[in-house]
A and B are shown apart, each in its own frame.
Chain A
Amino acid sequence: QSALTQPRSVSGSPGQSVTISCTGTSSDVGGYNYVSWYQQHPGKAPKLMIYDVSKRPSGVPDRFSGSKSGNTASLTISGLQAEDEADYYCCSYAGSYTLVVFGGGTKLTVL
């Protein structure tokens, strides 16, 4: 079960937009519309930000959006705010045998 590939870090200034990519294969990201994204602040439990590629749970600001093209999913955060600084993880369904695979995580720094 290979982890999905994410950039180790991204950064942006307040108000700007950043996009975090998550690359998998046709057996996971590309094969199903079951990609989710989690935000994790230091010492805290992960928080669901996006599910089913582009859906937002209630309470998540619409500054967070998700998309997918082929084997790569993306999380875009617009209007960056200081509190967005955190680690972000993508996650995908990977079929009935492997079931679940996470990305390695991306550290977002708000400059």
Chain B
Amino acid sequence: EVQLVESGGGLVQPGRSLRLSCAASGFTFDDYAMHWVRQAPGKGLEWVSGISWNSGSIGYADSVKGRFTISRDNAKNSLYLQMNSLRAEDTALYYCAKDTTEWLFNPTSDYWGQGTLVTVSS
């Protein structure tokens, strides 16, 4: 059974940093690209970042470019999102999602975690 478990969320002050993690199991992690997708309270889904199976291809939404860094450790079956210079508008539930292919050219997510909540407030 595919499982994606996010962690690392919490309350953080504007301008500070936070690192999210996603522990994957039930599939061959290094065969697939992975994504972070967020959802602000009461709002829609917003793609944040994606990374190919070998970290050779990485992409970011304009809203987080230069502040967030996605990475993965295939040996640990884990996905990460380093979030710096956090803003109030980054407040959201952050989902980890598995892609259906190893690359980012056809971003389709067939499994999602339950999300970890990030609240940016003073």
Contacts and interface: CB of A to CB of B under 8 A. Distances in A.
B47 A34 contact: no
A7 to B, nearest CB: 13
Interface in A27-54: 32, 34, 36, 38, 40, 45-48, 51-52
Given A1-B61, A1-B62, A52 B106 contact: yes
Interface residues of A, number: 27
A40 B108 CA distance: 15
Contact of A103 (B35, B44, B104, B108): B44
A15 interface: no
Contacts, number: 69
A18 interface: no
Interface stretch (B15-23, B24-32, B79-87, B109-117): B109-117
B80 to A, nearest CB: 18
A105 interface: yes
A100 B106 contact: no
Contacts of B95: 45-46
Chain B interface size range: 20 to 34
Contacts of A57: 110
A36 B108 contact: yes
A38 B47 CA distance: 13
A87 B44 CA distance: 9
Contacts of A12: none
Contacts of A32: 106
A73 interface: no
B107 A99 contact: yes
Given A91-B107, A102-B37, 20 more contacts: A34-B106, A38-B109, A40-B45, A45-B95, A45-B113, A46-B95, A46-B109, A46-B112, A52-B106, A91-B45, A91-B47, A93-B105, A99-B47, A99-B50, A99-B107, A100-B35, A102-B44, A102-B45, A104-B44, A105-B44
